[in-house]
Amino acid sequence: MTNDLVVKHNDLIEASYRLGLIEAKIILKLASLIKRDDKVFVDYHVPARTLMKEINLGERNYEELQKATLGLVEKTATLKESDGDLQISFLASAKHYKRGPKKGMIRFRFDPALKPYLLQLKEKFTAFRLENTLNLRSIYAIRLYELLKQYETIGKRQITIKKFREILELKKTEYKLYSDFKRRIILPAQRELKKKTDISFEFEEIKQGRSVAEILFHIYLNKEQEKPVDLFEHVLIEKMQKVVVFSMKKMREIIERYNDEKIEIALKYTKEKARENKEGYFLQLLDDPNFGEAEIEKRKLKEKREEKDNQEYIKKLEEEAAQKEQRKKIDEYILKHPKIFEKFVSEFIEINAVKLPGLSETVKNSLAKNYARVEILKEIEKNES
């Protein structure tokens, strides 16, 4: 990489968009090719194999690369401008040469509307080395890295959960519980940034009432040093050792390259189905871009069902607590005003004497007392309003 510096306008860093991991890395690579003196976008010609290697896609995943470039032409980002919202695509076009002297090359053209956000930047921009992002295996880690690099010199950044979700363009149904948001987005990014980039962070949760409303990130410069295997790696390594035989170096490379969910699913399939050459079978599954999607979806559906069941259980408990509180209020009211209670009981019996001729006195009294309690509850609610 002759010029591996990525420079972005801060508005582009804070834009709302949702790219896949490969798509994000392609844009970062192309941004690093922009020269400081460029006044207009030029065509960027990149060998497909070189690009796949640099973004850790693997030379056999050319179809995945084609899908990613198509996504960059079709997907949009939303930027907040002074007079309104700008919806913009990342690439105007991407041409894959399959014949002729340029065979194996890809020609990329940025959307011209991105010019003020990538070219001739004099202020309100953030710069970082490309190498800090290409080894990250989560799109959320890349987005959080950029957001924190923007405030690196200040040393901290405070952001609301609502704003953070808008930037990541999360659906309302995704990670609705903060505990899931923290477990799936913040903590994995924290591990990755500490291990693979030039910055790390700690964070504080700022609450409004009982809910976490904002996060205060404390940003630190990473020292260049050999980092030991963390707990996250240790667990995955132990799982691999029970199924396949690899060197420690190879297992670390696998953890660096692939999503942890995909590794666990591939281990499960290898254990159940591979009778010989388990290592080869395992690696083949990992290299298959389509493998594991169904299993991951099943896990997500299971989590949603568990979340729904949990919400329903909580709702049931809250309703039971509310009913218990109502009964307590009614009992206290009856103790203080027994004559009012007796008045409602008599009222019910008098009104329904003709309607309920065949009922026993016990049943009539039970119905009358229930009626009296309902009327007393109305009186309580009327006094409280």
Extents of the domains making up the chain:
1-133, 136-227, 231-291, 311-384
- Tens of pLDDT, residue by residue over 365-376, are 788 888 888 888
Helix, strand, coil share (%) of the chain residues, nearest 5 = 55, 15, 30
- The domain defined by 1-133 folds into Arc Repressor Mutant, subunit A (1.10.10)
pLDDT at 260 over 90: no
Distance of CA 169 to the CA centre of its chain: 9
CA distance 270 to 235: 18
pLDDT at 199 over 90: yes
Category of 302 on φ-ψ map: left (φ > 0), alpha (ψ -120 to 50) or beta: alpha
pLDDT (0 to 100) of residue 2? 39
Q: Which of 11-15, 224-228, 345-349 has the lowest mean pLDDT?
A: 224-228
Q: What's this model's pTM, rounded to 2 decimal places?
A: 0.60
pLDDT at 240 over 50: yes
State the CATH architecture for 136-227. Orthogonal Bundle (1.10)
Kindly state the average pLDDT of the residues 287-292: 75
CA distance 361 to 234: 73
Kindly state the average pLDDT of the residues 168-178: 93
Kindly state the average pLDDT of the residues 255-263: 83
pLDDT at 55 over 80: yes
CA distance 105 to 352: 90
For the chain, percent of residues with pLDDT exceeding 90: 49
Higher pLDDT, 352 or 336: 336
Report, in angstroms and rounded to the nearest whole number, the Rg of the chain calculated over CA atoms: 31
pLDDT (0 to 100) of residue 228? 44
Place of tokens 């307590």: 328
pLDDT (0 to 100) of residue 3? 43
pLDDT (0 to 100) of residue 208? 92
pLDDT at 49 over 70: yes
Kindly state the average pLDDT of the residues 149-177: 94
CA distance 334 to 347: 16
Smallest CA-to-CA distance from 74 within 88, 86, 63, 85 is with: 88
Which amino acid is residue 271, in one-letter code? K
